[in-house]
Amino acid sequence: MNWSDDELSKIDQADDLKIAPFREDGATYGTPTWIWEVVVDGSLYVRGYHGQKSRWYQAAVHQKAGRIIAAGMTRTVAFEPVDGPINDRIDDAYRAKYRKSQYLPPMVSTRARAATVRITPRDENTSRRRIA
């Protein structure tokens, strides 16, 4: 599944994304954590401020699924770690969107880049079971 242009626009403009990967049981959602997001080439990305040590990042990579709450929507989603040249474009998106924030430098650091995750919507029927 992919995000609609309308959904991505609403999420990006609201700038209120909360991420909640599944807990170890693969069925219970974790505590929602507010996180910066950016949209690049029709995909939604987030990063761990504390890099791969971020608790939500560790849960997202391990469980591969959960939900987000943003722009008045709650969506079941899949999490996929990303690496490679797309990170340069994601850096640019963070710089454009959060240029006035004192927290920008850590979000475009090597540490945060190593904890970049793409979020994609999931079918409700598969949302409550862990993906192998």
Q: What per-residue confidence (pLDDT) applies to 124?
A: 67
pLDDT in tens, 34-87: 999 999 999 999 999 999 999 999 999 999 999 999 999 999 999 999 999 999
Tell how strand 73-81 and strand 18-21 pair up.
Answer: unpaired
Tell me how far CA of residue 118 lies from CA of 3, 44, 101, 130, in angstroms. Answer: 12, 6, 22, 17
Burial of 69 (0-12, 13-18, 19+ CB in 10 A): middle
What is the DSSP track for 77-106? EEEEE--STHHHHHHHHHHHHSTT-TTHHH
pLDDT classification of 1: cutoffs 50, 70, 90? confident
Give the E-state strand segments of 2-131 in sequence order. 18-21, 33-34, 37-40, 43-47, 65-70, 73-81, 116-121
Measured in degrees and rounded to the nearest 5, phi and psi for residue 74 equal -120, 120
The sheet carrying 37-40 orders its strands as: 33-34, 18-21, 65-70, 73-81, 116-121, 43-47, 37-40
pTM for this prediction: 0.92
Q: What per-residue confidence (pLDDT) applies to 130?
A: 44
Task: State the Cα–Cα distance between residues 131 and 22, nearest whole angstrom.
Answer: 11
